[in-house]
Amino acid sequence: MRATTIHAPRDIRVSDVDDPTITAPTDAVIKVTAGCICGSDLWPYRGENNIDAGSTIGHECVGVVEEVGSEVTSFRPGDFVIVPFDHCDNTCAHCRAGVQSACTNLGFTASGQAEYALVTQAEGSLVKTDGMPDASLIPSLLTLSDVMATGWHAAVTAGVRAGGTAVVVGDGAVGLCGVLAAHVMGAEKVVALSRHEPRQEIARHFGATHIVPERDDAATEALMEITEGVGADAVLECVGTDQAMKTAFAVARPGATVGFVGVPHGVELPIRRMFQRNVGLAGGMAPVRRYLPELLKLVQEGTIDPGLVFDLTLPLDQVADGYRAMDERRAIKVLIQP
């Protein structure tokens, strides 16, 4: 099949690789309808993570079941499914506790930007729609494989409450989905930190009540004014850098929690400040499967339209252009059509 592969920093290609096949009874092969590029794909792209030269890349997709292993009984060829980037059996102690991202049989989608993808725990991971969804819904359904579920996880772990103030650090696709999540959860004030007009616009559409274009100390000042000197009830850290984390802790009110979902890179946590102000940290890799039924319902009933984060759609052939566009922040998030 044709699949996106990475060979070195900034060297993204479309290569012919072996088709995924069923090797375990829990496997399923998915024919990808749509995949996309994740902010976290940019870490290896920028050379900040190790690269296994020639390996496939891409962990977000939706598609149609092509073939299933013998233990997969709830899905059959032809089903349209959302594929959580983190595969889980949904039966182990960690899954039952709602932490499917720490499943004892954890697996990951490895070729989401490709013609086919393998799911290692299909029965526990996949969620299907009733029949083929309308093409207009595909982008929003695709976000449920990672980005929307991750933004939702940030809001859940930050403890967003109805009537409270939620601050979202990061205006990437995850941050924007975090804005949407905080809005749906009923936060009265939803503050998006963003200096980019197209992102501000989506943030507003997703329910941001305030936009703060400032950074660092100036951002903290602006947020303290918005919260009347108290600080935010919940902070969603959707970047993963030290600067973003510092801002998150600076604006959290005493007793609040920073919900973090950006893969941490070079982060040093301000533990003294956390201690003195009782500001907690929670979050991590999103247990996508946990949120899927609820999020699918919200998409299908039209309550949320997270697919708006895709501002560029490219055929698989041009996937390298998609990486460049995201790297240069010309695109928020790129949908790839195999």
What residues make contact with its own copies under the rule CB under 8 A? Answer: 93-94, 97-99, 101-102, 157, 230, 253-255, 257, 260, 263-264, 267, 269, 271-272, 274-285, 287
Shortest reach from residue 230's CB to its own copies, in Å:
5
Shortest reach from residue 59's CB to its own copies, in Å:
15
How far is residue 270's CA from residue 87's CA, in Å, rounded to a whole number? 33
Judge whether 260 and 237 are in contact, CB under 8 Å. Answer: yes
For its own copies, the closer CB: 235 or 332: 235
Q: What would the two tokens of residue 154 be?
A: 């940030």
Shortest reach from residue 170's CB to its own copies, in Å:
15
For its own copies, the closer CB: 79 or 233: 233
For its own copies, the closer CB: 33 or 227: 227
How far is residue 79's CA from residue 296's CA, in Å, rounded to a whole number? 15
Who's near 9: CB < 8 A, 6+ residues apart? Answer: 44, 45, 46, 47, 51
Q: Which of 161, 133, 181, 169 is nearest to 286 (CA)?
A: 181
In the chain, helix, strand, coil percent, each to 5? 35, 25, 40
Own/partner contacts of 94-98, CB < 8 Å, gap of 24 or more, are 95/124, 95/287, 95/289, 98/287, 98/290
How far is residue 65's CA from residue 116's CA, in Å, rounded to a whole number? 10
For its own copies, the closer CB: 23 or 278: 278
How far is residue 92's CA from residue 96's CA, in Å, rounded to a whole number? 6
Q: What phi and psi, each to the nearest 5 degrees, are found at residue 210?
A: -135, 140
Q: What phi and psi, each to the nearest 5 degrees, are found at residue 143?
A: -65, -20
Q: Can you say how many angstroms the Cα of residue 257 is from the centroid of all Cα atoms in its chain?
A: 20
For its own copies, the closer CB: 243 or 276: 276
For its own copies, the closer CB: 93 or 218: 93
For its own copies, the closer CB: 106 or 299: 106
Shortest reach from residue 278's CB to its own copies, in Å:
4
Shortest reach from residue 286's CB to its own copies, in Å:
9
Shortest reach from residue 276's CB to its own copies, in Å:
6
For its own copies, the closer CB: 28 or 261: 261
Shortest reach from residue 146's CB to its own copies, in Å:
15
